[in-house]
Amino acid sequence: MKRMSRILMVSAVSVALTASGTTAVVANPAEKPRAAAVAPVAADLSRGPLVSVEHLRTLTAREVAAELAGDKAGAWDTGAVRYGLDTFRIVYRTVDAHGRPTTASGLLALPRSGERRLRTVSFTHGTELFKGDVASVSTSVWDQAPALTYASAGFATVLPDYLGLGVGPGPHPWMDVPSETTAALDMLRASRAVATAKGRELRRDVLVTGFSQGASAALGLARSLQEGVDGWFRLRAVAPISGAYAFRDAELPALLAGQTEPKASVIYSALTLVAFNRLHHLYDTPAQVFRAPYDQTIEGLLDGTHTGQEVQAGTPDSIDALLTPRGRAMLAHPTGRLAAALRIADGVCTDWTPRAPIRLYYADGDEQAVTANTARCHAALRARGVHAPRIDLGTPDYGGSRHLGSHQTGTAAVVRWFHSLR
C-alpha cells in the first residue's frame, strides 16, 4: 500500500472571540456514565462548550479549486466549488469512552457565501494512525478535501477529529462507535457556538456523511440525531462511504482469509486487538496475542504518536507473523467482551430504523473495506423496511488504492446528492 497513513475505516453557547481569534470557555464537566449502546448520548449542556477556537485559513474559490485539483495522488472533483471559505480549529468539551470529562478537537469550515443561515454537513474521517493526520492539524489535500468540497459548495462543514486525535489527549479508541458518536455530536454543538459568534446560524437539519471508519461513525451520529438527543440538531440525510459495518461477520473474516491488502490486514488486526483491549481488557499481556518481537512494540507503535510510515515499517507483512494462535482465534471466533463490543460496532446497521433518506456508497473490489460490509448493511436495513440504495462508485483509484479512491469519488457524489435535498 502506497500511503499507509491513509488506511481504512481508513451547542448553543454564547462566546465572544478575541481579536486573535481564540477564546476560552469554562464549563461544568459533570457527565453521566457511558451506556452500552450505539448512541449513548444524553442531552447535557456541559457537553460541547468551547475550550478554544483558532482561525486557520481563508481561501478564495479559485484557491480551493486549485488545491483540490492539485493533489498529486489524484485530483479531487471541483465541480461543486462556488465559494471561498474560512477554517477554524475547535477544541471543545466532551466525554471519553468511559463517560468521563475530556476534550477533543475538530475542524469547522464556513463558506464565504453571504448566507447567514447555513445548511450543515458533518463529515467523519477514516482511520488515521498519527494524531497529526486529521483536518484540524494537517494541511494535506487528503485531510482537507472534505472540508474544502462541502464548504466551497455552500455548506457549513463540521469535521470531528474523534477522541485522541488532533490535539485531543490520550490514545484514540479506534472503531468505538459510542465515543465517535459523542465526539461528533459535541463537535456540532461547539461549531454552532462558533458560527453564532461569527454572525452565522447552523440550521437544524444535518446532512451526515463519513468514510471508512467514519462511515460507521456517521451512522452512529445519524441515529443519535434521529433519536432527538440534541435540542437543536436533527437528521436530514445520511450518506456513509465504504464502511466496515459488518466488522465481525464480513471484515474480520476477510482480513484473516487474505482477501484484503496484506499490510492493511496486519495493521487492522493489530488495531482491533490493541484498541479494543484498552477499553474492554481482552488479554493480560501482549505476548498472549502477538508474536515476538511485536509483542514488545505493537501497543506503543499504535499510540497515535507514530506516523503511518513508522507503523508500516514496524509491523510484519503477514498476519501469521503477527498473531499467536490465541490472537488469531480471538479474531476468528470472537467471544465474551470482544463479541459484545463488536455487536455494538455492527449495530450501526442492525439496531435502528433510519427514517431520513440514506444511501450506501461503495467501490467494486475494495481492497480494505470488503463490499460484503455494504451488502450486509443494506440487507439489515431492508429487513427493517428501509430503502437504502447501494451506490456503486465503480473502480476509482487514489494513489493505487480503490478504497481511498472511493472516498474521493464518493465525496463528489455525496455533495451532489446533498445539494438535491431541500
Q: How far apart are CA 112 and CA 156, in angstroms?
A: 10
pLDDT tens digits, residue range 113-139? 999 999 999 999 999 999 999 999 999
Q: For the chain, give me the number of helices (H) and strands (E)?
A: 13, 9
Write out 372-388 in H/E/C secondary structure: HHHHHHHHHHHHCCCCC
**Residues near 20 by beta carbon (within 8 Å), at least 6 away in sequence:** none
**Sign of torsion over alpha carbons 39, 41, 43, 49:** negative
Work out the widest C-alpha separation in the chain, in whole angstroms.
60
Q: What is the pTM of this model?
A: 0.91
The DSSP letter of residue 164 is: T
278, HSE (Cβ side, Cα atoms, 13 Å): 21
Catalogue all structural domains in the chain, each as residue range(s) with its CATH number: 4-11+44-246+349-420 (3.40.50.1820), 259-343 (1.10.260.160)
Give residue 47's pLDDT.
87
Give residue 40's pLDDT.
39
**CB–CB of 156/121 below 8 Å?**
yes
**CB–CB of 222/354 below 8 Å?**
yes
- Parallel, antiparallel, or unpaired: how do β-strands 156-160 and 85-95 relate? unpaired
What residues of the chain score a pLDDT lower than 50?
Answer: 1-5, 8-43
Give residue 23's pLDDT.
35
Give residue 45's pLDDT.
61
- Parallel, antiparallel, or unpaired: how do β-strands 201-211 and 234-241 relate? parallel
Question: Dihedrals φ, ψ of 30, to 5°?
Answer: -60, 140
